[in-house]
Amino acid sequence: MSPRLHDVIIVGAGPSGATAANLLAQQGLDVLIVDRSQQPSAQLPQTCLGLRTSLLSKLGVDGEIFAALEVPKPVRFLGAEGGFDFQIAVEPSGSDTGYQGMRLNRTYFDQSLIQSAVHHGAAYFCGLQIEQFIEQEGGIRGVRCRTVRGVEDYHARAVIDASGKSALLANQLGLRDEGQKLDDRNAVFSHYIGTDFAQLLPNGGMTVFASEGGYVLLAPMSGQRVSVIAVMADSQAAFYGNDRKLFFETTVGAWQALRCAIGRAQQVLPILPVINHTSICRHFNGPGYFIVGEAAAFSDPFISNGLAFAMDSGELAAQTLIDAWQDQGDLILPRDRTAYDRQTRELLQLRQQEAHDWLDGIAARRLVMACADPHLPWIVPFALLNLLFGAGFKYEGELNRQGTALLAAARSEYSNFVSPV
């Protein structure tokens, strides 16, 4: 039992939680941020549309963002039975273009955000899994976890649920609505640690293997950790019913070299489904609580700007608490809870609109032409970079003749998947 009543407890030290913790701690509030992972938890590199320099500098990570940006690595496309095997690389053309759309090393960036929050005075406990929020006197008053010492409660004047896809509080309170399916694909993934993957990946980049009716993505994470994602059209995946393991093993098994690498590697995650639907909370605040980031809403993993929304919504929750503290000397939530909900929805819509406007330009049409499969998630950031920075595709091998032929072969192979018969 924590003897202390904290001002604010935040569950989840991802970008939304770390942003809120940082801003609250800067105001001298007693903030405890907890995460079940030992940070940094492994994260795939992501695009970073819509990050605001003003917020990054408020958080003290405006310098760090540049260290977290990566020059895009090549992507290798490979067909079954040697149909094709080529790499695409994109070169950013200059440094004056900022970081919109660049590839962000999330593991590094998330760690910088936490470090900065701690530097500003937030207390940070990692490796602590919260089981539930404590409901008392008609509001949320803290969190409960189980440790080797037994059940432990931590109390606070206000809590922020920033638990990402766990959506801990929204699930507890039944606030989450599942929206529409994102597309007609079905995907499962797992993580492995092994040395044999290096020979399958192009110099730190990703590999896309086209298999019968689907494809496999191999994405390097930090160290020797690799994410292996098996993707298939719903119509084909239906054959496997709920047997994720069979679906995964059959899809990745089509590539013998990958099968061998997996056989010699250590599996560090179970085979999990990839989220393929939107979700949104009916309320983002209530007595004693706020819900931010992906715990509040999830719209699209690839082209929207979940990271920017996570940070913006973390800022909004923090600012609302700070205003209450400065105006009233307490952390009582705003009288008008509906206004807060509306502000969060507006943030989400704004971010989505920005992403769609960006993609709806001429870039999107060229993007479709540029990608073997327009639905391929991992190529999207690379192709966008290509369009943004005006860099041409660079094939390893003969530039035009061979590249065009290879792309045509790849398109035809992937088109079987995109429009399954």
Q: Are strands 150-161 and 289-291 parallel, antiparallel or unpaired?
A: parallel
Rounded distance, CA 168 to CA 12, Å?
A: 10
From the list 26, 112, 115, 163, which residue makes contact with ligand FAD (rule: CB under 6 A)?
A: 163
Which among 63-71, 156-164, 197-205, 251-259 is the span making contact with ligand FAD, rule CB under 6 A?
156-164
Query: Per rule CB under 6 A, is residue 246 in the interface with ligand FAD?
Result: no
Tell me if 34 sits within 8 A of 168, measured CB to CB. no
Shortest Å distance, C-beta 305 to ligand FAD: 4
From the list 22, 26, 47, 352, which residue makes contact with ligand FAD (rule: CB under 6 A)?
A: 47
Shortest Å distance, C-beta 34 to ligand FAD: 6
Query: Per rule CB under 6 A, is residue 211 in the interface with ligand FAD?
Result: no
Nearest residue (CB) to ligand FAD, 99 versus 389: 99
Half-sphere exposure of 282 (CA within 13 A, CB side): 6
Shortest Å distance, C-beta 380 to ligand FAD: 8
Which among 40-48, 218-226, 396-404, 412-420 is the span making contact with ligand FAD, rule CB under 6 A?
40-48
Q: Are strands 5-11 and 31-35 parallel, antiparallel or unpaired?
A: parallel
Rounded distance, CA 43 to CA 10, Å?
A: 20
Rounded distance, CA 309 to CA 270, Å?
A: 28
Q: Locate 267 and state its tokens.
A: 């599996």
Rounded distance, CA 380 to CA 355, Å?
A: 13
Q: Which of residues 220-239 bind ligand FAD (CB under 6 A)?
A: none
Q: Which of residues 164-203 bind ligand FAD (CB under 6 A)?
A: 164-166, 168
Which among 7-15, 210-218, 260-268, 398-406 is the span making contact with ligand FAD, rule CB under 6 A?
7-15
Distant-in-sequence, close-in-space partners of 239: CB < 8 Å, separation ≥ 6: none
From the list 2, 27, 41, 319, which residue makes contact with ligand FAD (rule: CB under 6 A)?
A: 41
Query: Per rule CB under 6 A, is residue 366 in the interface with ligand FAD?
Result: no
From the list 22, 26, 46, 251, which residue makes contact with ligand FAD (rule: CB under 6 A)?
A: 46
- Classify 233 as helix, strand or coil: strand
Binding mask 254-283 for ligand FAD (x = CB under 6 A): ---------------------x--------
Which among 208-216, 292-300, 318-326, 335-343 is the span making contact with ligand FAD, rule CB under 6 A?
292-300
Map tokens 């409660």 to a residue. Answer: 153
Q: Locate 378 and state its tokens.
A: 């991992």
Using alpha carbons, list the distances in angstroms from residue 88 to 47, 85, 207, 303: 18, 10, 10, 20
Nearest residue (CB) to ligand FAD, 145 versus 391: 145
Query: Per rule CB under 6 A, is residue 403 in the interface with ligand FAD?
Result: no
CA-based torsion, 118, 45, 384, 63: positive or negative:
positive
From the list 33, 78, 102, 130, which residue makes contact with ligand FAD (rule: CB under 6 A)?
A: 130
Q: Are strands 130-136 and 139-147 parallel, antiparallel or unpaired?
A: antiparallel
Tell me if 48 sits within 8 A of 100, measured CB to CB. yes
Q: Are strands 272-273 and 214-220 parallel, antiparallel or unpaired?
A: unpaired
Number of Cβ within 10 Å of residue 179's Cβ equals 12
Site for ligand FAD, rule CB under 6 A: 11-17, 34-37, 41, 46-48, 129-130, 162-166, 168, 275, 293-295, 301-302, 305-307, 310
